């Protein structure tokens, strides 16, 4: 049982892990999914050490890992060491569950009938805690500059951009050129067919390969294809789990699109749709959220009027998220509130 002894000795990582705004479902079998480097390792380590669990962490990405050996020897090893929790880290397919409470972890996506927790990069509130910012404005400025990957807080500033690119290289490898072309559509409305034809003019790629890659990014929680309200066959609005994705691969940054991506990520757990000419809509709350980074009161009110004129939806409230503007007013029976991002995100 030498391999299992090795994993057992290395199971507890002595490091200070910061809590996330997520909780494991209170179930015996749980799958934790999420994009690479979104913090799954730290999240589960923190959870189990907080619970004072006697756990075995099996690193399925370790080149010494042998699935058959582990499956054969695991029950006896669990009994011998009174283990109550087993973690399969980075496993490709679900193993036969051992006789303990078990947490399965995958870097990306794994089909499962078990309860699932989807973890993503940091929201703005988590980012402030990770970086120990007491001033929300300062946190917002750094959030805009360095994005939402958990580990970037620990990386020296002169290495941050390089590390961000390394993260994508480790996850995407040979698909980097395709992904780089795809980030061009950040915040834009497009069909997968249109995106494929544009990218095909830059890269030699088959339709099957592109469609498979596009679907993989969605499964892994890296790409979000948001539907238009009451027009599910319309082009999708594309957002990324890292709102700086386009900035890393293109000189053209389109700040309004980056800003809307930031706003979307704060809302992604809701039932959400996009509106034309701009805006996000939450039907269950009868609320429109507009990402308008800059503009005076007149300009913002004009944009609100344009959205209402073009979209006949049930609305009780409109929230406008800006960089620094702050005011309230009513249009008819609809209450409109304009807030800076750092206030809006922390108030949710």
Write out pLDDT tens, residues 24-40.
877 788 999 999 999 99
Do you know the residue count of the chain?
Answer: 348
Q: Decide if 133 is inside a domain.
A: no
Mean pLDDT value of segment 58-75: 93
Q: Decide if 165 is inside a domain.
A: no
- Asked if 261 and 343 sit in the same domain, the reply is yes
Instruction: Give Cα 32 to chain centroid, integer Å.
Output: 13
Instruction: Give Cα 37 to chain centroid, integer Å.
Output: 10
The confidence band for 1, taking pLDDT boundaries of 50, 70 and 90, is: confident
- Give the integer Cα–Cα distance in Å for 115 and 117: 7
Number of compact structural domains in the chain:
3
- Asked if 180 and 89 sit in the same domain, the reply is no
> Which positions ≥6 away from 305 have C-beta within 8 Å?
331
- Asked if 238 and 268 sit in the same domain, the reply is no
- Give the integer Cα–Cα distance in Å for 221 and 239: 10
Q: Decide if 69 is inside a domain.
A: yes
Mean pLDDT value of segment 171-190: 96
pLDDT value at 107 more than 80: no
* Torsion of Cα atoms, 194 then 206 then 167 then 138, to 10°: 0
Q: Decide if 236 is inside a domain.
A: yes
- Asked if 200 and 287 sit in the same domain, the reply is no
pLDDT for the residue numbered 109: 82
Q: Decide if 98 is inside a domain.
A: yes
pLDDT for the residue numbered 220: 93
Please state whether beta strands 189-190 and 55-59 pair in parallel, antiparallel, or not at all (unpaired): unpaired
Q: Decide if 224 is inside a domain.
A: yes
- Give the integer Cα–Cα distance in Å for 148 and 38: 9
pLDDT for the residue numbered 61: 92
Most confidently modeled of 154-158, 250-254, 341-345?
341-345
* Torsion of Cα atoms, 7 then 12 then 13 then 16, to 10°: 160
Q: Decide if 146 is inside a domain.
A: no
Query: Has this prediction a pTM greater than 0.85?
Result: yes
Q: For residue 318, what are the domain limits? A: 254-348
């Amino acid at each position: 049982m030498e391999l299992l002894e090795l994993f057992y000795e290395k199971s507890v990582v002595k490091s200070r892990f910061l809590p996330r705004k997520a909780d494991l479902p209170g179930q015996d079998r749980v799958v934790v999914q999420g994009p690479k480097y979104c913090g799954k390792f730290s999240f589960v380590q923190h959870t189990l050490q907080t619970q004072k669990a006697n756990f075995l962490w099996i690193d399925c990405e370790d080149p010494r890992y042998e699935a058959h050996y582990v499956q054969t020897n695991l029950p006896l090893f669990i009994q011998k060491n009174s283990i109550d929790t087993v973690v399969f880290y980075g496993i490709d397919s679900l193993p036969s569950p051992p006789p303990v409470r078990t947490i399965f972890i995958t870097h990306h996506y794994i089909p499962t009938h078990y309860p699932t927790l989807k973890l993503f990069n940091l929201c703005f509130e988590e980012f402030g805690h990770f970086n120990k910012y007491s001033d929300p404005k300062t946190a917002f400025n750094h959030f805009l500059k360095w994005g939402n990957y958990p580990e970037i807080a620990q990386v020296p500033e002169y290495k941050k951009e390089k590390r961000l690119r390394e993260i994508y290289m480790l996850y995407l490898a040979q698909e980097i050129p395709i992904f780089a072309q795809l980030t061009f559509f950040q915040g834009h409305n497009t069909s997968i067919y249109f995106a494929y034809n544009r990218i095909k003019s830059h890269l030699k790629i088959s339709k099957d390969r592109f469609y498979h890659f596009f679907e993989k990014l969605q499964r892994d929680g890296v790409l979000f294809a948001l539907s238009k309200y009451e027009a599910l066959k319309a082009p999708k609005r594309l957002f990324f789990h890292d709102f700086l994705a386009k900035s890393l691969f293109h000189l053209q940054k389109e700040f309004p699109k980056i800003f809307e991506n930031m706003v979307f990520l704060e809302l992604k757990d809701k039932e959400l749709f996009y509106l034309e000419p701009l805006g996000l809509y939450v039907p269950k709350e009868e609320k429109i959220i507009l990402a308008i980074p800059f503009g005076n009161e007149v300009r913002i009110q004009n944009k609100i009027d344009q959205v209402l004129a073009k979209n006949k939806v049930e609305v009780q409230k409109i929230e406008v998220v800006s960089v620094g503007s702050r005011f309230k007013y009513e249009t008819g029976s609809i209450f409109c509130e304009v807030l800076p991002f750092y206030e809006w995100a922390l108030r949710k």
